[in-house]
Amino acid sequence: MRAGAIQLNARDDFSHNLSTADRLVREAASRGAELVVLPEVWSTIGPRDVMRGGAQTLEGEAISWARATAAKLGVDLVAGSIVERTRAADTNPAGPPRCANTSVHVGRDGDVLAVYRKIHLFDVEIEGQVHAESATFDGGSEVVTSTLGDPERTTLGMSICFDLRFPELYRILALRGAEVVTVPSAFTLPTTRDHWEPLLRARAIENQCFVVAPNQIGEHPGGNRSGGRSLIVDPWGTVLACAPDTECAIVAELDLSRGRAIRTRLPTLARRRPDAYDWGAEREEGRGGRRGPA
């Protein structure tokens, strides 16, 4: 199976973003990609009012385009993530719209096969800049796998950006059979520089899966900058493709038989010891760290 990752410099202009995404998805497909993945918030990006103003439902233009394009090109298309206006917003029309950071897997016939809403929201401070994703988005709560349209019906695991720092999610995806995991992202420039590749390779190695990780690149409205370097990584941790510092599509061959051979010869998933992993106290104390003696 060939996979493509699309690297974009999204703006607060949906028409512009859609035109670029359409061109690069078609380029990836023309280079043989059967699975194509867009980055996080490709439909619109910017300050909170911009994100809310550009929010769409899953019946909106962004996912309608994704469905038509996947069917026309005959590809599995993971439509990165969009700013989804959730139906919960309809119950409170006087208040600010509620949104989710939502990734959608569209199958080769144009049907929506899976919807994943980002679980871990990006509420952090990076080099003095505060990011408060929870001010715009409601977090999801469901771990999501889907099925690709290749002859072997490969299991796909879905995640988004900041999820990458939470290995529990990826272990669950692997235990549910995911052999390919998508990580559409808008990783900041500093964290792309220092953390992006090590984290992606770690998730691939420890879960013995392929990782397709398209990232945004460059400056966005509001001054945030994304670091690019979109990657496709194999289950050994080898980087199969890395994007240059520009908008582009990268494509790589995913040798699924090699991935399965790695799981057989180095059976870390099969050698797990769930009986030894007692999370009881740690689960309660994890927010503030484990307490010492009084």
Active site residues: 40, 118, 161
Q: Do residues 154 and 180 make contact, with C-beta atoms less than 8 angstroms apart?
A: yes
Q: Closest Cα partner for 35 from 288, 250, 221? A: 250
What's the rounded Cα separation, in Å, for the pair 99 and 192?
25
Using N-to-C axis directions, what is the helix angle for 197-207 and 167-175, rounded to 10°? 30
Q: Where are the alpha helices (DSSP H) in the chain?
A: 14-30, 48-53, 61-73, 167-175, 189-191, 197-207, 256-265, 280-285
Strand-by-strand arrangement of the 180-182 sheet = 145-147, 155-158, 180-182, 210-213, 231-233, 239-242
SS3 content of the chain, % helix, strand, coil (to 5): 35, 25, 40
What's the rounded Cα separation, in Å, for the pair 75 and 36?
7
Write the CA distances from 60 to 67, 69, 220, integer angstroms: 11, 14, 23
Q: Closest Cα partner for 215 from 242, 252, 181? A: 242
Half-sphere exposure of 271 (CA within 13 A, CB side): 8
- Which residues, at least 6 apart from 72, have a Cβ–Cβ distance to it below 8 Å? none
Q: Do residues 39 and 230 make contact, with C-beta atoms less than 8 angstroms apart?
A: yes
